[in-house]
Amino acid sequence: MSYNKKVAYFYNPEVGNFHYGPGHPMKPHRLSVIHSLVLNYGLHRKMQIYRPYRASTHDMCRFHSEDYVEFLQRVTPQNLQGYTKYLSHFNVGDDCPVFDGLFDFCSMYTGASLDGATKLNNNCCDIAVNWSGGLHHAKKFEASGFCYINDIVIAILELLKYRARVLYIDIDVHHGDGVQEAFYLTDRVMTVSFHKYGNYFFPGTGDMYEIGAESGRYYSVNVPLKEGIDDTSYIQVFKPVISHVMEFFQPTAIVLQCGADSLANDRLGCFSLSTKGHGECVKFVRDLNVPLLTVGGGGYTLRNVARCWTYETSLLVDEQISNELPYTEYLEYFAPDFTLHPEVVTRQDNANSKQYLEAITRHVCDNLKMIQHSPSVQMQDVPCDALPPEEERQPEPDPDSRQNPQDTDKIVEPANEYYAGDKDQDKMDTNDS
């Protein structure tokens, strides 16, 4: 059966140029490395490529407080002295530093998620991909865990204009606390987070007894895991939990946060997943055939994040790619093996027993049975899209060019297209001279 999902990929060439500061584990540069791999594997031919919308202060204030967004817009490393009294108030400092272009960075990654949600709402694509997004810790009034603006919450609010129920799935090693908190009291968004919990691991939330409140009771699902979990154990709990969630909640859109700090040997993580195990979760969600917004998140060993999200891009477009990495300007990052799926050498034992995982799965499934039925929404006028029409956002095409980049980026190569490059079967005509 042919794969006919339309995939929209959002990438701003400038988003990888920002720098949190020397020694900081969050490296936006990883986004440039991923995009280079996507291009050199030829995956861009299987997707529509969009230079995304930039979110405005108005877009950000749909979730965040005005004074917090205004602070982010005005503060710079040069004028930091004048904002000293606000730093602790907005939790800006060591983990969430002020760096050059901070507001521009927030505007780019948030705008891309918002653009993806709008494209899904208007049925322009089946899957939207924004690896620069997924900053799930940001709160209404403050920054947290390297996250300033919660692009996920803002994208979900946009999806809710058209979609009765949105499911949020988080496979980052850290609990998706900012998204859970935002929707803790509603039954229209179900949040499901698989994460390390215990021993004061950041952010310290995500106990299995955090289940939501008021109208949202039983609509927050937490799967607390112990260190060292491997592919087999993770899949053992992931697939049944998501299957039960789909059965009881019946979402009309899904947002999947693919934090890659759950991979083995991450600088800040403590799980033992391989890129294939992580990707198995993405493939499982893809195959649910529900409109899907896929975003990035954590991931602090740059070469492994790049491998993971490149591989998952190939899964989303259903294209098999070689284990041997193509030549790119960043190839030395992947020494000594230069492969997409290096052998996983784990540093710690799996502390998750089969019995422990079965108990968690049983607990989650029992809670889901408390939901009477998937919630419905009364008929109402649909608010207008947050974004202006795309034709108004694009620059004027070059009159001297036959094809402008905006048009060529949206061309998706059909499955029966001739191969380009090494796989090309065309032979030079011997009569040509």
Query: Hey, what are 385's tokens?
Result: 């899209």
426 annotated as a binding-site residue: no
145 annotated as a binding-site residue: yes
429 annotated as a binding-site residue: no
Strands 166-170 and 253-257: parallel
Residue tagged active-site, from 137, 195, 244, 278: 137
CA of 418: how far to CAs of 2, 40, 409, 413, 425, in Å?
Answer: 17, 17, 18, 9, 8
44 annotated as a binding-site residue: no
Burial zone of 11 (CB within 10 Å; 0-12 exposed, 13-18 middle, 19+ buried): buried
- CA dist 323 and 315 (Å) reads 14
Among 3, 13, 39, CA closest to 310: 39
- CA dist 118 and 55 (Å) reads 13
300 annotated as a binding-site residue: yes
177 annotated as a binding-site residue: no
- CA dist 287 and 303 (Å) reads 27
- CA dist 332 and 42 (Å) reads 20
Phi, psi of 172 (to 5 degrees): -65, 155
Q: Is 175 a catalytic residue?
A: no
- CA dist 39 and 51 (Å) reads 15
Contacts of 94 (CB under 8 A, 6+ apart): none
Contacts of 146 (CB under 8 A, 6+ apart): 20, 24, 25, 26, 95, 96, 135, 137, 298
CA of 374: how far to CAs of 189, 339, 377, 380, in Å?
Answer: 11, 44, 10, 18
Q: Which residues are catalytic?
A: 137
Binding-site residues: 95, 145, 172, 174, 261, 300
Binding-site residues for substrate: 95, 145, 300
Binding-site residues for a divalent metal cation: 172, 174, 261
